[in-house]
Amino acid sequence: MAVTNQPGKFEASNFQTGLLDVCDDCGTFSVCISLPLTVSGCYGLLCFPCMGCSIARDMNECCLCGLTPTMRSVYRTKYNIKGSLCRDLLIYQCCMVCAVCQLKRDIDRRKEQGIF
């Protein structure tokens, strides 16, 4: 008989980068604000919507969901990141670009760490 272990739940944490840490990853930021500085192809032409599709693809969701506060909420829940849907809505209302960039940076870092 095979014994399987369920993966442990992530400990409560914060996002790995701050909401305003846009200069930590200029590639992601340039995509988010539609400046094709270091990015070519589709990102260079349609930047922000493509960033949303990239996030949705990373999370195996519909492309139309990538730029929504609920995507951030789903991600927070999956990785036990502190916050609430109300806070996510407020953050998106105040600075959607910063919120999307933060989410993409966090996804990329978790991929590098092998925990995505």
pLDDT at 115: 86
Assess if residue 74 is contained within a domain. Answer: yes
C-alpha to C-alpha distance for 94 and 42, rounded to whole angstroms: 27
Rounded to two decimals, the pTM is 0.74
Tens digits of residue pLDDT in 32-77? 555 444 443 334 345 777 788 888 999 999 888 878 899 999 999 9
The domain of 50 spans 22-113
Assess if residue 61 is contained within a domain. Answer: yes
Q: Which helix (H) or strand (E) holds 22?
A: none
Q: What angle do CA 66, 46, 55 make, to 5 degrees?
A: 20
Assess if residue 10 is contained within a domain. Answer: no
pLDDT at 6: 55
Assess if residue 4 is contained within a domain. Answer: no
Alpha-helical segments (H) within the chain:
26-32, 42-58, 69-78, 85-113
C-alpha to C-alpha distance for 11 and 81, rounded to whole angstroms: 8
pLDDT greater at residue 17 or residue 36: 17
C-alpha to C-alpha distance for 81 and 17, rounded to whole angstroms: 12
